[in-house]
Amino acid sequence: MNLQQVLRRLKTLSDPEKIKVKETKFGINAKNSLGIYHKDLKILAKVIGQDNKLAVELYETGIYEARILCSKIYDPKRLSKKQMDGWAANFDNWEICDSFCMGFFAKSNHALSKAREWSEAEGEFVKRAGFVIMAAYGFADKKSGNEVFEQFFQPIVREAGDDRLYVKKAVNWTLRNIGKRNIDLQRRAIEIANYLLTIDSSSAKWIAKNALSELEKPKPSILDYPRHLYRPMANKVLQRKSR
């Protein structure tokens, strides 16, 4: 399919009522939106297949759903850091942020470096992007050992005090997903959550309680990805104070 064909298809899927539903029910406020649900864009992406040139053309239209579609048909292994920075700078709601980060940025060669960098960003949705990559990385990378995921604990502790809604939700999501990777990381995540409870921050406490409510269930859904023997968290991580 070429650009004009895809745009015509998007037009047929558009529904102004869906714009209102997404705003009122899901808190998604998007500029230049046609009103198309994410599930319908996923179906269209499968029809199109991977096409980097078309993906960039779609993004450059400025149409909200065309940009989400871009994230679904571009080869993540061909991403450059410059592209990632440029696209992340335009995130203005959680849906487009998560669409780019979960199945796209998290599979790029720059996923870990950008996750660490963006976790310190000032902008709410760029910072969220850093943590969404961390949250998704545990499922994008099924071979790495625990040390890859342990590095995420430091930014979690550091940023747990950020009380912006879409940041704290992403920090919590990251902590829960790390803990669900295997039983050793479950213990480590619980340890971090208990530390967050000691921080004088309502956001940190919310992140901790929410994570513990899932990770301490009698039968939590824990995967069995690569691991190593459990050892207590390094003091330097637990002593980091949230901002």
The per-residue pLDDT for range 38-49, each reduced to its tens digit, is 999 999 999 999
Place of tokens 């099924």: 142
DSSP single-letter state for residue 76: G
Whole-number pLDDT of residue 96: 96
- 72, pLDDT greater than 70: yes
What the block records as the tokens of 233 is 């968290």
Per-residue pLDDT for 142 more than 80?
A: no
> What pLDDT score was predicted for residue 110?
97
Provide the mean pLDDT of the chain: 90
pLDDT classification of 145: cutoffs 50, 70, 90: confident
Q: What is the pLDDT of residue 229?
A: 44
Residue 21: pLDDT above 70?
yes
Instruction: Delimit the domains of the chain by residue range.
Output: 1-74
Percent of the chain with pLDDT over 70: 90
Going by C-alpha positions, the residue among 157, 166, 175, 163 that lies closest to residue 211 is 175
The pairs formed by 35-40 with CB atoms below 8 angstroms and a separation of 24 or more are 36/10, 36/65, 38/68, 38/95, 38/99, 40/13
pTM of the model: 0.88
Place of tokens 């796209």: 104
How far apart are the C-alpha atoms of 58 and 67, rounded to whole Å?
6
How wide is the angle at C-alpha 110 spanned by C-alphas 105 and 115, nearest 5°? 70
Q: Is the Cβ–Cβ distance between 41 and 68 less than 8 Å?
A: yes
Tens-place pLDDT, residues 55-66:
999 999 999 999
Comparing CA positions, the residue from 96, 95, 54 lying closest to residue 74 is 54
C-alpha to C-alpha distance for 67 and 57, rounded to whole angstroms: 9
Q: Considering only residues 237 and 14, tell me which one the structure prediction assigns the higher pLDDT.
A: 14
Strand, coil or helix: 187:
helix
CB 211 within 8 A of CB 176: yes
pLDDT tens digit sequence for 186-224: 999 999 999 999 999 999 999 999 999 999 987 666 665
Could you tell me the two tokens for 175? 């902590």
Look at the block and give the residue holding tokens 């790029």: 108
pLDDT, one tens digit per residue, over 161-182 is 999 999 999 999 999 999 998 8
